[in-house]
A and B are shown apart, each in its own frame.
Chain A
Amino acid sequence: MITAVLNRLVASAATLLGVAVVVFVLLRIVPGDPIAMMIAPGASPEDVAALRARYGLDTSIPEQFWIWLQGVLSGDFGTSISLRLDVLGLLASRLPATLELAIAALVVAVVLGGAIAVVGTLMGRRTGGALDAANGLLLAVPDFVWALALVLLLGVAWPLFPLTGRIDPSVATDFHTRFYLLESLATGRLAVARDVAAHMVMPTLALALPLAAVIARVLKEALGEAMLQDYVLLARIKGMSETRLVMQEALRNAVGPTLALTGVQFTFLLGGTVIVERIFAYPGIGNMAIDAVINRDLPLIQGLVLLFGLMFILINLAVDLAVAALNPRLRHG
Chain B
Amino acid sequence: MAETFVDEDGGAAGRRRALARALLAEPKVVVGGGFVLFLVAVALFAPWIAPHDPLEQDLMLATLPPAGFAGAEPGYPLGTDGLGRDVLSRLVYGTRIALTVAFVAATLAALFGTVLGLLAGYLGGKVDTVIGRLVDIWMAFPPVLLSILLVAILGSGLHSVIIAIAVIDWTRFCRVVRAETMAQARMDYVTAAVTIGFPRPAILVREILPNVAPVIIALVSLEMGIAIIVEAILSFVGLSVSSDTPTWGGMIAEGRQIVHHGWWVLAAPLAALFAAVLAFNQLGGGLRRALDPVMRR
Contact = CB atoms under 8 A, between A and B. Distances in A.
A273 B142 CA distance: 9
Interface string B122-154: 000000000001001101111111001110110
B143 A271 contact: yes
Interface string B166-193: 0000000000000000000000000000
Interface residues of B, number: 40
B256 interface: yes
Interface stretch (A63-71, A220-228, A293-301): A293-301
A278 B277 contact: no
A142 interface: yes
A301 B152 CA distance: 12
Contacts of B274: 141, 145, 149
Contacts of B143: 268, 271
A293 B140 CA distance: 18
Interface stretch (A26-34, A89-97, A174-182): A26-34
Contacts of A18: 133, 136-137, 140
A136 B284 CA distance: 12
A271 B145 contact: yes
Given A137-B278, A271-B145, A148 B139 contact: no
A115 interface: no
A148 B142 contact: no
Contact of A289 (B137, B145, B225, B263): B145
Nearest to B152: A293
A16 interface: yes
A142 B233 CA distance: 11
Nearest to B249: A144
Contacts of A136: 285
Contact of A145 (B145, B270, B282): B270
B259 interface: yes
Contacts of A30: 152-153
A140 B281 contact: yes
Query: Which of A11, A268, A275 has most B Cβ within 10 Å?
Result: A275
Contacts of A144: 229, 232-233, 236
A148 B137 contact: no
A15 B145 contact: no
Given A19-B137, A151-B266, A275 B152 contact: no
A290 B267 contact: no
Given A140-B225, A151-B256, A293 B148 contact: yes
A245 B238 CA distance: 53
A31 B155 contact: yes
A274 interface: yes
A232 to B, nearest CB: 29
Interface in B10-51: none
A235 interface: no
A22 B149 CA distance: 12
A51 interface: no
A145 B277 contact: yes
A152 interface: yes
Contacts of B296: none
Interface in B230-249: 232-233, 236-239
Nearest to B280: A140
B252 A148 contact: yes
Contacts of A163: 259
A144 B270 CA distance: 10
A14 B229 contact: no
B133 A305 contact: no
A81 to B, nearest CB: 14
B161 interface: no
B98 to A, nearest CB: 14
B230 to A, nearest CB: 9
Interface stretch (A38-46, A54-62, A197-205, A306-314): A306-314
B90 to A, nearest CB: 17
A308 B152 contact: no
Interface string B245-262: 000000010001001100
Contact of A308 (B142, B239, B266): B142
Given A140-B225, A275-B233, A308 B252 contact: no
A279 interface: yes
Interface in A217-257: none
Nearest to A163: B259
Interface in B36-95: none
B266 A148 contact: yes
Contacts of A88: none
A148 B277 CA distance: 15
Contact of A16 (B140, B155, B232): B140
A53 interface: no
A155 interface: yes
Given A140-B225, A145-B229, A156-B263, A293 B142 contact: no
A157 B270 CA distance: 15
Contact of B237 (A139, A141, A278): A278
A212 interface: no
A304 interface: yes
Interface in A114-168: 136-137, 139-142, 144-145, 148-149, 151-152, 155-157, 163
21 contacts: A15-B136, A16-B140, A26-B150, A27-B149, A30-B152, A31-B155, A141-B277, A142-B226, A145-B273, A145-B277, A148-B266, A151-B256, A271-B143, A271-B144, A275-B237, A290-B145, A294-B238, A308-B141, A308-B142, A309-B140, A312-B139
Q: Sort A-B residue pairs by CB-CB distance and give the 6 closest, nearest first.
A: A271-B142, A140-B281, A18-B137, A309-B140, A274-B144, A30-B153
